[in-house]
């Protein structure tokens, strides 16, 4: 009877010597990027990230604290993308940053020009390298987004990094300068202006309160600026 039990175990892929068995991803696993991708491919319908060599499997996401603000970021950045040929927008796209980091940021914006952009799309359709801008929705300041993930983005050269702490009604927009992330400060009208993407303007308070009409009106002012026109000409 004991031999029969052992045989059944191996047949179902749980034997220690069965090379076909792929362990599931678990939060806290320490893996190489290759092993992370192997396990991730075998477990569809789940979001997982590799940050500084550690696996993070996403929990279910709430609507008001994540889904709604995420959608509003997409609306804002999507309108910029539509008006800026040569710039592409990604929603939850996997990014191969380096051998220890494979995040799946909520939103990313990249310059899709081989001679101008930092990142490229691989043959198997992943982002490789650092996008110019990454935006993450974080529940609070205790989130990994403001610690290990921020450090990985900085080290790999993500030029601008937005973290929206929805439970604290706070949004930080960092810009990479001399190897460090420094906060971009809003002007007297409460508007932050990107240094990497000319014309990408954000009415911060309006975004936080959900006033998307104002958010898009301020963005349109940026899109009408001379700086944005010149940026589009450079990309085309």
Q: pLDDT category, 50, cuts 50, 70, 90?
A: confident
Q: pLDDT category, 62, cuts 50, 70, 90?
A: confident
The residue ranking higher by pLDDT, 10 or 208, is 208
- Give the pLDDT score at 12: 36
Q: Which of 13-17, 68-72, 127-131 has the lowest mean pLDDT?
A: 13-17
Let me know: does 109 contact 80? Beta carbons within 8 Å: yes
**pLDDT score of 98 more than 60:** yes
What are the beta bridge partners of residue 107? 91, 135
Q: Are residues 82 and 136 in the same domain?
A: yes
Strands 133-138 and 160-165: parallel
Sign of CA dihedral 10, 16, 22, 24: positive
Q: Are residues 179 and 203 in the same domain?
A: yes
What whole-number distance in Å separates Cα of residue 186 and Cα of residue 26?
40
Maximum pairwise Cα distance, the chain: 80
Q: Are residues 184 and 159 in the same domain?
A: yes
- How many folded domains does the chain comprise? 2
Q: Are residues 117 and 161 in the same domain?
A: yes
Which segments within 37-148 are labelled E, that is strand?
A: 48-51, 54-57, 87-91, 95-96, 107-111, 120-121, 127-128, 133-138
What whole-number distance in Å separates Cα of residue 201 and Cα of residue 193?
5
Q: Is residue 9 part of a domain?
A: no
* Tally of CB atoms within 10 A around 18: 12
What whole-number distance in Å separates Cα of residue 25 and Cα of residue 102?
14
What average pLDDT does range 67-87 have in this prediction? 97
Strands 54-57 and 48-51: antiparallel
Q: Are residues 162 and 46 in the same domain?
A: no
Q: Are residues 111 and 54 in the same domain?
A: no
Q: Are residues 180 and 96 in the same domain?
A: yes
Angle between helix 68-82 and helix 212-223 axes, rounded to 10 deg = 20
Q: Are residues 40 and 106 in the same domain?
A: no
- Give the pLDDT score at 99: 93
| Domain end point (choices 32, 60, 88) | 60
Task: Please write the tens of the pLDDT for every residue from 111-144.
Answer: 997 778 999 999 999 999 999 999 999 977 667 7
Q: Is residue 11 part of a domain?
A: no
What are the beta bridge partners of residue 83? none
Q: Are residues 45 and 67 in the same domain?
A: no
- Give the pLDDT score at 234: 93
Q: State the CATH number of the domain containing residue 211.
A: 3.90.1570.10
- Give the pLDDT score at 79: 98
Task: Please write the tens of the pLDDT for every residue from 141-194.
Answer: 667 788 889 999 999 999 999 999 999 999 999 999 999 999 999 999 999 999
Q: Is residue 129 part of a domain?
A: yes
Q: Is residue 1 part of a domain?
A: no
Let me know: does 198 contact 230? Beta carbons within 8 Å: yes
Q: Are residues 50 and 104 in the same domain?
A: no
Let me know: does 87 contact 77? Beta carbons within 8 Å: no
**pLDDT score of 19 more than 60:** no
Q: Are residues 30 and 114 in the same domain?
A: no
Q: Which domain holds residue 44?
A: 21-60
Let me know: does 120 contact 151? Beta carbons within 8 Å: no
206 CB-contact burial (10 Å; exposed 0-12 / middle 13-18 / buried 19+):
buried
- Give the pLDDT score at 3: 45
Rounded to 5 degrees, φ, ψ at 75 are: -60, -50
Q: Is residue 70 part of a domain?
A: yes
């Amino acid at each position: 009877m004991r031999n029969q039990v052992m045989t059944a175990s191996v047949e179902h892929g749980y034997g220690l010597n069965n090379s076909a068995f792929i362990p599931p991803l678990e939060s806290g696993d320490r893996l190489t990027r290759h092993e992370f991708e192997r396990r991730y491919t075998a477990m569809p319908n789940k979001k997982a990230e590799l940050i500084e060599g550690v696996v993070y499997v996403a929990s279910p996401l709430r609507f008001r604290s994540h889904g709604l603000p995420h959608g509003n970021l997409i609306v804002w950045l999507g309108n910029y993308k539509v008006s800026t040929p040569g710039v592409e927008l990604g929603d939850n796209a996997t990014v191969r940053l380096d051998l220890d980091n494979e995040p799946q940021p909520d939103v990313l914006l990249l310059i899709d020009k081989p001679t101008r952009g930092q990142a490229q799309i691989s043959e198997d359709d992943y982002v490789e390298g650092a996008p110019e801008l990454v935006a993450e929705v974080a529940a609070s300041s205790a989130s990994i987004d403001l610690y290990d993930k921020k450090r990985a983005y900085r080290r790999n050269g993500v030029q601008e990094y937005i973290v929206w702490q929805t439970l604290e009604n706070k949004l930080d927009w960092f810009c990479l300068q001399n190897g460090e992330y420094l906060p971009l400060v809003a002007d007297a009208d409460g508007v932050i202006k990107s240094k990497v993407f000319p014309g990408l303007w954000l009415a911060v308070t309006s975004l936080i309160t959900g006033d998307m009409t104002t958010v898009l009106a301020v963005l349109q002012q940026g899109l009408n600026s001379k700086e944005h026109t010149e940026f589009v000409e450079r990309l085309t």
